[in-house]
């Protein structure tokens, strides 16, 4: 079922006997906005070609707004299963290599039968879309099937926010060394433990390694500030004065009944000359300060008609 506020279209190039793909666009969305690609897939348990050729084509399709709901028949502890089978390893490697995320967040199994229950139904999407998914849940609503109904909300109007990060080049080395020195007593205890324990086990080594990594990571996080990415500024040289000159240059004089009256045309030519000179001056100044190129400026491309006259 599709709402009347949504325009839907089947994409046959990404549809076969196991996969159905539909393109959605909300009727209130801008015409230049990208559609949302939604796919429903069944990955047969006896199929050795995982992923299928159609699934590979779908994933490679250049679109950030992409959902894939699938009955994977694959077990992996990453999405809540109690174990990891071969299919789960192959599918997880495929998701990692294509920068895809699993949106499942509930601890409720998605498949429940009289013999078993599992987490084989997955909601797969891109990191871009994952930020806009809200209230993902496994519903108790009856579906007349062993597979439970999965519900979530997707907000089309949500803007993509760039994640913060830590730049190792900004690490305060003196703070890091000082704090690490303060934790030297714990580090010494680790080396002492290894010396006095005669029959050390793998579990003990793993536990000690985790504790050591935790100390180093916490020390690094406190000594390295968190940075927020800056969005690129486009066409910073295009100012209010140039916009006004653009309107003036677009006001071409009307053909006069008196052919000898060339004054309006001469005024118009002077306006176009000043307009071109202002563009070149503004862009040259911007190139010196921010490294923008003359060829890549969109408003300058729009002014070619005036430069030819």
| HEC readout, the chain | CCCCCEEEEECHHHCCCCEEEEEEEECCCCCCCCCEEEEEEECCCCCCCCCCHHHHHHHHCCCCCEEEEEECCCCCHHHCCCCCCHHHHHHHHHHHHCCCEECCCCCCCCEECCCCEECCEEEEECHHHHCCEEEEEECCCCCCCCECCEEEEECCCCCCCCCCEECHHHCCHHHHHHHHHHCHHHHHHHHHHHHHCCCCCHHHHHHHHHHHHHHHHHHHHHHCCEECCCCCCCCCCCCHHHHHHHHHHHCCCCCCCCCCCCHHHHHHHHHHHHHHHHHHHHHHHHHHHHCCCCCCCHHHHHCHHHHCC
Summarised one tens digit per residue, pLDDT across range 165-216 is: 888 888 888 888 888 888 766 655 655 555 555 667 777 777 777 878 888 8
| pLDDT interval class at 91 (50, 70, 90) | very high
Q: What is the pTM of this model?
A: 0.51
Count the neighbouring beta carbons within 10 Å of the beta carbon of residue 62.
6
* Per-residue pLDDT reduced to its tens digit, 135-164: 899 988 877 788 999 998 887 655 555 667
> What is the Cα–Cα distance from 132 to 152, expressed in whole angstroms?
10
- Determine the angle formed by the axes of helices 184-196 and 202-223, rounding to 10 degrees: 170
| Percent over 90 (pLDDT), the chain | 15
CA–CA gap between residue 44 and residue 46 (Å, rounded): 5
**Strand 66-71 versus strand 36-42 pairing type:** parallel
Q: Average pLDDT for residues 285-307, to the nearest whole number?
A: 49
Is it the case that residue 259 has pLDDT exceeding 50? yes
In this predicted structure, what is the pLDDT of residue 71? 93
């Amino acid at each position: 079922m599709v709402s009347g506020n949504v325009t839907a279209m089947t994409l046959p190039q990404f549809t076969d006997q196991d996969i159905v793909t539909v393109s959605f666009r909300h009727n209130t969305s801008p015409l230049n906005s990208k559609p949302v690609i939604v796919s429903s897939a069944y990955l047969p348990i006896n199929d050795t070609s995982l992923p299928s050729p159609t699934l590979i084509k779908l994933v490679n399709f250049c679109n950030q707004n992409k959902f894939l709901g699938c009955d994977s028949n694959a077990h992996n502890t990453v999405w809540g299963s109690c174990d990891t089978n071969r299919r789960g390893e192959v599918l997880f490697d495929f998701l990692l290599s294509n920068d895809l995320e699993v949106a499942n967040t509930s601890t409720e199994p998605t498949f429940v039968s009289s013999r078993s229950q599992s987490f084989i139904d997955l909601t797969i999407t891109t990191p871009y879309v994952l930020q806009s998914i809200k209230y993902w849940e496994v519903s108790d609503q009856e579906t007349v099937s062993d597979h439970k109904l999965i519900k979530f909300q997707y907000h089309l109007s949500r803007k993509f926010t760039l994640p913060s990060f830590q730049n190792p080049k900004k690490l305060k080395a003196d703070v890091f060394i000082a704090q690490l020195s303060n934790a030297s007593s714990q580090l010494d205890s680790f080396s002492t433990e290894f010396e006095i324990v005669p029959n050390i086990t793998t579990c003990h080594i793993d536990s000690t390694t985790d504790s050591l990594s935790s100390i180093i990571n916490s020390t690094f996080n406190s000594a390295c500030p968190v940075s927020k990415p800056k969005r690129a500024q486009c066409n910073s040289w295009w100012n209010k004065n140039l916009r006004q000159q653009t309107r003036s240059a677009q006001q071409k004089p009307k053909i006069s009944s008196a052919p000898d009256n060339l004054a309006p045309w001469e005024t118009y030519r002077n306006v176009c000359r000043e307009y071109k000179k202002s563009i070149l001056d503004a862009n040259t100044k911007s190139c010196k300060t921010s490294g923008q190129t003359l060829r890549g400026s969109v408003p300058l491309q729009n002014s070619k008609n005036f430069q030819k006259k």
